[in-house]
Amino acid sequence: MNYSRFITAVSAARKASPIRLLTELMQRSPPSLISLAGGAPNPNTFPFKAASIIVEDGTTVEIGEESMKRALQYSGTAGIPELLLWLKDLQKSLHNPPTTDRRPEEGQMEICVTTGSQQGLCKVFEMLINPGDTVLLDAPSYPGTLAALRPLGCNIISVPSDQHGIIPKGLKEILSRWSPEGTRKLNSNLPKFLYTIPNGSNPTGTSLTADRKKEIYQLARQYDFLIIEDDPYYFLQFSKPWAPTFLSMDVDGRVLRTDSFSKILSSGLRIGFLTGPKPLVDRVILHIQVSTMHASTFTQLMIYQLLQQWGQKGFFDHVDRVVEFYRTQRDVMLTAADKWLKGLANWHSPAAGMFLWIKIKGISDTQHLIMEKALEKEGFQRLAELIKEAI
Ligand code: PLP
């Protein structure tokens, strides 16, 4: 694939910082280089010496004095090498991406650690969108995505969906405005990408079926758009085998996938990871280089050490426990909805995630009902006023 047709002039103009490249060389083990150029502070002057973090199974994650020096220091933008390796192995065993062994320019699978998946998403949008570009969105969608997309001035087309996610027929109808054979140059404003939350979508709780994903991927090939697979609820699927992902079908190298540890390890540690074709992931890395530089080294080391102690099996055992917790929560919520809202509202039992989308019969917009009537009844008038002012 020729990726240059997707990226903005700003993204194309980004160049690697020589100082950051030196930081990457310095983190090789054993260290072969000490750079005097980068403003790296001497970690012996830092007040933190060691850390011991107790894990729920009674084991500990130990960050001894030598590791602590590294944990408190700058590190490479893509992520610390050992965590990257662990994540690459995880992606290979979960998704077996067809692009794994390609040459870099052919869209070889690449990974970078992000400060939560939100950072990956935001940087991906900024890499791809020029004002006036068209993008396709699985609607209604996650407010964090809308807030990142809207200021970029793109033309957002909502794709119809039901409890099984995007309806391919609806997507096909939207795309019929363009010619499937035309190149991007001949087809003015051909959508650049489709954004979707394929499992336990925020806020609708829907999950895309494997058959629909296959149809959608074929449409992406026909109309030459990228797919942004934002999947923080992937690990919270209630039944096995887990659904095949767009990444697992990606023979062309047109899928950018954002994963998150927020829902299973911690949301406050802010660790996510972006997987996709190397030419695009490299552009995102260049953007992170000049913004946050890298995700916290301490956090990455702490997470890596836990994952390494657990191994993939221990990680999946933990995921199973988290899934059981949310399955119980879902069932309690469904029982309550059944008890209080039967006949008044419609909903579907979610196959993954944390969201139950309730549609009240006969009310198309529940804003007034929730923000005014419900909050006032609870004596939250002041709060209701503040919320009204804010929106
Ligand atoms: N994408 C979706 C669909 C989400 O629901 C969230 C958070 O709730 C995010 C991305 C951001 O997650 P993270 O904590 O990994 O930045």
273-306: pLDDT as tens digits: 999 999 999 999 999 999 999 999 999 999 999 9
- Unique residue bearing structure tokens 């552009």: 283
The answer to whether 352 and 323 are in contact (CB under 8 A) is no
Instruction: Report CA 263 to chain centroid distance, whole Å.
Output: 11
> What ranges make up the beta strands (E) of the chain?
51-54, 60-63, 109-114, 134-138, 155-159, 161-162, 165-166, 193-196, 226-230, 255-260, 272-277, 345-346, 359-360
State the distance from the centre of ligand 1 to the C-alpha of 295, rounded, in angstroms.
16
Ligand 1 centroid from CA 142, angstroms: 8
- Tell me: pLDDT of 385 over 70: no
Q: Establish whether residue 302 lines the binding site of ligand 1, counting it when its CB lies within 6 angstroms of any ligand atom.
A: no
pLDDT at position 180 is 82
197 touches ligand 1 (CB under 6 Å): yes
pLDDT > 90: percent of the chain:
80
* Ligand 1: centre distance to CA 117 (Å): 6
Gap from CA of 118 to ligand 1 centroid (Å): 6
pLDDT at position 387: 60
How far, in Å, CA of 274 to CA of 206, rounded? 22
Distance CA(149)–CA(139), nearest Å, equals 13
What is the rounded CA–CA span in Å between residue 296 and residue 192?
A: 32
Q: In this structure, what DSSP letter does residue 157 have? A: E
Quick one: pLDDT band at residue 334, thresholds 50, 70, 90?
A: very high
* pLDDT tops 80 at residue 143: yes
Q: Is the pTM of this model over 0.85?
A: yes
Q: What is the mean pLDDT of the segment spanning 335-356?
A: 94
- Alpha-carbon separation of residue 352 from 125, 198, 237 (angstroms): 26, 10, 4
Closest residue CA from atom 10 of ligand 1: 118
